[in-house]
Every structure is written in C-alpha cells, then in structure tokens.
Structure 1
Amino acid sequence: MFASLLVVAIIGAIAWAGSAVGLGVLFGVVLPYVAVAAFFVGVIWRMVYWAKSPVPFAIPTTGGQERSLDFIKQAKWDCPTTTFGVVRRMFLEVVFFRSLFRNTCADVREFDEVNNGPRTIYFSSKWLWVFSLLFHYCFLLVFIRHFRFFMDPVCPVITWIETIDGIMQVGAPRFFWTGGLLLCALLFLLARRAFNQRLRYISLPNDYFPLFLLIGIVGTGICLRYFDKTDIAQVKVFIMGLVHFAPVSADGINSLFFVHLTLVSVLLLYFPFSKLMHMAGIFFSPTRNLPCNTREVRHVNPWNPPKQFYTYAEYEDAFRDAMADAGLPLEKQPEKAAE
C-alpha cells in the first residue's frame, strides 16, 4: 500500500517541480498527447483481443434455477435463456451493479451459545454496492462536467448538469456535490482494503495504485477549485489549444494544474493494462454475455476443429517391421516373416 502511495506522490512531485522550472510543455502537452494515444490504442487492442478469443466452455454465471422441466419455475432474471434475457441482465449489471447488490459477507463468531463453539455466519453487505455505485456515477458526472473545457460554446446539457450538481449554492465558487461524494467513495474503498484484514491479505500494489491515483486526481481538482485557485479562463485557452492541436504557452498557470493533468495522463496510460479495463471487459465476459441454455443447446468448443484420427491398424501398418524386430505382439505379421 505504501509503495503505491509513494509512487503517486513521486509522480506528483516530479510534475510540480518540472512545471516550476519551465517544463510545462512536457507535462502539459507531450505527456497528455502520448497518454490519450496510448489509451485509445490500448483499449482497442484489448477489446479486439477479447473479441477474437474463443470460448471453450459455456460458463454463464447462474444465480437461480435454470430452465428445465415445465413445472419447475425458472429464474428468468438470473438465468436467462434468450438473447433478450441476456441483454436485460447485462443492462442491470452495467447500470445498477445488480450482482454486487446481492453481495454477502462471511464472518466467524468466536462463540455461539447454540453450538457451544465458533460458527460461520453469512449476512448481507450493501455498503460496497452503495459506495461503488456512488463512485462510478459521480466519476461519470465529473467527467462530463469537464467537457466545458473542451468545447466552445459549452453544450447546454453540460451547463444543466453543472446547475443541478451545484444546486445547493454552497460557498463561492459553488460547491459541486459530485466532487465531494467522489472523494468520500474513494476513501471508503481505500479504507475497506486497508482495514479489512482478509481483504488486505489478498490485495496487491495494483489494487492500491489506481485508488491513490484517483484520490490524487480528485484531491488536486478540489484544491484547484476551492483552495489554490487557478485562472480557469487561461486553463480553458490552454486546453482548447491542445484540442485543436495548436498548443499555447503555459506561462502563468498554477503548477498544481500540471500535477492534476499529469496524474490524469498517468491514469490514461495505466488504464488499458490494468483491472480498470473491466469497464469494457464486462461486455466480453462469457460469464455474462452467454445465455444459460446448456441443457438445450450444445456448446461447441471452437478450439476443437475436426481432427484426423490415426487408428491402431494404420499405426501397425506404418511400423510393423520395427515392431516385429522389437518382439512386440502384432495382429498381422510382416510379409517376409509370413513367407
């Protein structure tokens, strides 16, 4: 965990120091262009690779009774057998995280009066579902809001989202609730890994790194808006120059902005090669995109093309003389031996 935090801190420190000594072009122009190109190339490559990968087994996730006999009720939402049912299940999974909503936790009670000893108990756990949903939708809204820096004039939809997001009119500039809720959701996901002993045991640096990276992005964004403020008009001119492939001078822009931009660029570079690709991978997962009809339709393994079988009679015809010399039993003796 601390190694991931240190890496993110070093990246931010390098961007801060580099922009302060006049390397704004590197961190504000070159790195974003490389990151965006790597992001799109990497995502497309992963998606094409997944699309071309054969599915040797029918392994759709089942959450209820599969369709079988007429008098047995089928769980159509969790075991769909039709294309429409699969689309419906995918929609609920992508939009509402339905499988995560059904999440359960297991715990061991040290002493149970009934069993007079330790006992494993299972209980519903909705907190992960709540904060995961909060994180993804807040991140989406923040991402959409940032499009005001990439277009002129600004789309009315983005203006409407900003109005709803800051409807409470707290502070000046007004407080955007999605930014604060996004930071809270990330801190919960981090605390869940840091303080849950069993989850911490199986966590790897690539589980902590994107969390610290996202916390750094959100934290620097909040600081830029409410605390160490920068000239938003100058930032928009700078970003519009990047959009039109005509970069302008970065002189006068706060160094914290380049830290924020560098962390975003690192996230784009890291995204296609990390677990974050589950955003696209869910659509290619056979556990989700296959119907639960294995009792009705035989799944043919694409890795098993028609094969040319070599019978024992053909094998003996090819090696009969050698087998006879070795004293192996034969169904048919060599012609010379028979004479």
Structure 2
Amino acid sequence: MFASLVLVLLIAAIAWIGASVGLAPLFGVVLPYAAVLVFIGGMIWRMTYWAKSPVPFCIPTTGGQEQSLDFIKQAKIDCPSTTWGVVKRMFTEVFLFRSLFRNTSAEIVENDPVNKGPRLIYYSSLWLWAFALIFHYSVLVIFIRHFRFFMEPVPAPITWVETIDGIMQVGSPRFYWTGGLALVALLFLLARRVWNYRLRYISLANDYFPLWLLLGIVCSGLCLRYFDKTEISQVKIYLMGLTHFAPVSAAGINGLFFIHLTLVCVLLMYFPFSKLAHMPGVFFSPTRNMANNSRRIRHINPWNPPKQYFTYPEYEDAYRDAMAEAGLPLEKQPEKAAE
C-alpha cells in the first residue's frame, strides 16, 4: 500500500519539479500525446486479444431459475436464455452494477447463541455497490464537464450537465457535487481495502496504485478549483492548442496543473494494462454476454480443430502381425496364419 502511495507522490514531485525547471513542454505536450497513443493502442490490443480468445465452454454466470418447464417461472435477467435477455442483463450490469448489488459478504460468528458455537453468516454488501455506483457516475459527469476545456463554443449539453452538477451552489466558485462525491467514494474504497483484514491480505500493489492515482487526480483537481487556483482561460487556450495539434506556451500556468495533467496521463497509460480495463472487458466476458441455452443449442468448442481419426480396422491393419504374435483377438487373421 505505502509503496503505491510513494510512487504516486514521486510522480507528482517529478511533474512539479519538471514544470518548475522549464520542462513544461515535456510534461504538457509530449507526455499527453504519448499517453493518448498508448491508451488507444493498448485498448485496441487488449480488445483484439479478448475478441480472438476462444470460448471452449458455455459458461454464463447464472443468478436465478433457468428456462425449464412452462409452469416454472424463469429469471429472465439473471439467467437469460435469449439474445434479448442478454441485452437486458448487460444493460443492468453496465448501468446499474446488478451483479455487485446482489453481492453478499460472509463472516464467522464465533459465539452464536443459537448454535452454541461458531456460525457462518451471509449478509448483503450494499455499501460497496452504492459507493461504486457513486464513484463511476461522478467520474462520468466530471469527464463530460471537462469537455468545456476542449471546445469553443461549449455545446449546450455540456453546459446543462455543468449546471445540474452545480445546481446546489455552495460558495464561490460554484461547488460541483460530483467532485466531492468522487473523493468520498474513493476514500471509502481505500478504507475498505485497508481495514478489512481479509481483503487486505489478498491485496497487491496493483490494487492500491489505481486508488492512490485516482485520489491524486481528484485531490489535485479540487485544489486547482477551490484553493491554489489557476487561470481557467489560459488553461483552456493551452488545452485547445493540444487538441488542434498546435501547442501554445504553457508559461504562467500553475505548477499544480502539471501535477494534475501528469497523473491523468499516467492513468491513461496504465489503464489498458490494468484491472481498470474491466470497463470494456465486461462486453467480452462470456460469463455475461452468453445466453444460458446449452440445453437447446449445442456449443461448439473452437479449440477443437479437425482431427485425423484412426479407426479400429485401420489400427488392426497396421499392427495385425504384432497383435497375433501377442495372442490378442483379431477380427481378421494375418495372411500367413490363414494359409
């Protein structure tokens, strides 16, 4: 955990020092272009690899009654048997995190008054579902809001999203609720991984690093807006120059902006090769995108190429003499023995 935190702090320090000593073109021009290229190339490679991977078995994850007799009610979303059912299941999975909503946690109660001893109990884990949903939708809104830095004039839908996000204005500048909600959700996800000893035991550096990286991005973005402010118009001119492949000077922009930008670039480069790629990966998962219809439709294993079969008559023709010498029963005796 601490190694991942130190790594994120080191990246931020390098960006801060680099911007201070005149390396702003490196961190503000070269790195963003390289990050976008790595992100696009990495995602194309990852999705191509997933698409080409054979699916040897029909393995949809089921969470209810499958299609059976007419008088038995089928769970058409949790156990779909048609393409339309799979579409509905994928919709609820992508937009509502249905499988996470149905997630349960297990815990052993040492002194259960009923069993007079240890007992395994299961309980709902809705807090994880709620904060995961809050985080993902907050990040989506933040992502949409940031398009105002790359467009002029700003499209009306982006302005509407920005207005709705800050409709309950608190102070000046206007407080965007998604920024605060994203920070709270990330702190919950980090605290859950740290304080749950079972989860902490199986956690690796690649579990903590994206959390610290996202926290660094959110915190630096909040600081840029509410505390160590920078000139928004100058940042917009600078970012629009990057978008139109006509970079302009970054002189005068706050050094904290380059920390924020560098952390975002690192996230883009890290994204295709990490667990964060589950965003497009869910569409390639056979446990989600397959219908549970193995009783009606035969699933062909693509790993089974055509084979050259060796029939028993061919086998006996090849080894007849040796089999006769060993005393094995034969359908046809060797020619010498028949004479």
TM over 0.5: yes
- Report the alpha carbon displacement of residue 313 of structure 1 after superposing the two structures with TM: 3.8
Q: Equivalents in 1 of 2:310, 2:246: separation in Å?
A: 67
- Report the alpha carbon displacement of residue 113 of structure 1 after superposing the two structures with TM: 1.5
2:177 paired with 1:214 = no
Q: Equivalents in 1 of 2:319, 2:304: separation in Å?
A: 28
In the other structure, the counterpart of 1:241 is 241
- % of aligned pairs identical? 72
- Report the alpha carbon displacement of residue 319 of structure 1 after superposing the two structures with TM: 5.2
In the other structure, the counterpart of 1:53 is 53
In the other structure, the counterpart of 2:258 is 258
2:68 paired with 1:68 = yes
Partner SS state of residue 109, structure 2: strand
Q: Equivalents in 2 of 1:320, 1:225: separation in Å?
A: 87
Q: Equivalents in 2 of 1:27, 1:320: separation in Å?
A: 77
Partner SS state of residue 256, structure 1: helix
Q: Equivalents in 2 of 1:199, 1:324: separation in Å?
A: 61
- The answer as to whether partners of 1:147 and 1:158 remain within 8 angstroms in 2 is yes
- After superposition, residues 277-316 of structure 1 pair within 5 angstroms as 277-316=277-316
Partner SS state of residue 35, structure 1: helix
- Report the alpha carbon displacement of residue 315 of structure 1 after superposing the two structures with TM: 3.6
In the other structure, the counterpart of 1:179 is 179
Q: Equivalents in 2 of 1:324, 1:294: separation in Å?
A: 43
- Report the alpha carbon displacement of residue 76 of structure 1 after superposing the two structures with TM: 1.4
- After superposition, residues 29-108 of structure 1 pair within 5 angstroms as 29-108=29-108
List per-residue Cα deviations over 1:161-193 (Å, max 9, x = no partner). Answer: 111111122111111110010000000000010
User: Which shifted more, 97-106 or 127-136?
Assistant: 97-106
Q: Equivalents in 1 of 2:268, 2:326: separation in Å?
A: 66
Q: Equivalents in 1 of 2:336, 2:296: separation in Å?
A: 56
Q: Equivalents in 2 of 1:336, 1:2: separation in Å?
A: 82
In the other structure, the counterpart of 1:2 is 2
**What TM-score do you get using the length of structure 1 for normalisation?**
0.95
Pairs aligned (count) = 337
List per-residue Cα deviations over 1:261-301 (Å, max 9, x = no partner). Answer: 00000000000011111100101111111111112111111
Partner SS state of residue 77, structure 1: coil
In the other structure, the counterpart of 2:117 is 117
List per-residue Cα deviations over 1:103-131 (Å, max 9, x = no partner). Answer: 11111111011211111111112100100
- The answer as to whether partners of 1:68 and 1:295 remain within 8 angstroms in 2 is no
- Report the alpha carbon displacement of residue 333 of structure 1 after superposing the two structures with TM: 6.6
Partner SS state of residue 122, structure 2: strand
Moved over 3 A (4+): 315-321, 327-339
RMSD of aligned alpha carbons: 1.7
Q: Equivalents in 1 of 2:281, 2:327: separation in Å?
A: 56
Q: Equivalents in 1 of 2:316, 2:215: separation in Å?
A: 70
Partner SS state of residue 108, structure 1: strand
- Report the alpha carbon displacement of residue 328 of structure 1 after superposing the two structures with TM: 4.3
- Report the alpha carbon displacement of residue 318 of structure 1 after superposing the two structures with TM: 3.8
- Report the alpha carbon displacement of residue 71 of structure 1 after superposing the two structures with TM: 2.2
In the other structure, the counterpart of 2:229 is 229
**CA 324–76 in structure 1, closer or farther in 2 if over 3 Å, else same:** closer
- Unpaired stretches in structure 1, ≥5 consecutive residues: none
- The answer as to whether partners of 1:217 and 1:263 remain within 8 angstroms in 2 is yes
User: Which shifted more, 66-75 or 24-33?
Assistant: 66-75
- Report the alpha carbon displacement of residue 338 of structure 1 after superposing the two structures with TM: 7.2
Partner SS state of residue 91, structure 2: helix
Q: Equivalents in 1 of 2:291, 2:112: separation in Å?
A: 42
- The answer as to whether partners of 1:283 and 1:289 remain within 8 angstroms in 2 is yes
Q: Equivalents in 2 of 1:269, 1:329: separation in Å?
A: 69
- Unpaired stretches in structure 2, ≥5 consecutive residues: none
Partner SS state of residue 141, structure 2: helix
Q: Equivalents in 1 of 2:220, 2:268: separation in Å?
A: 17
In the other structure, the counterpart of 1:12 is 12
Q: Equivalents in 1 of 2:313, 2:103: separation in Å?
A: 58
Q: Equivalents in 2 of 1:3, 1:318: separation in Å?
A: 65
Q: Equivalents in 2 of 1:19, 1:99: separation in Å?
A: 44
- Report the alpha carbon displacement of residue 305 of structure 1 after superposing the two structures with TM: 2.9
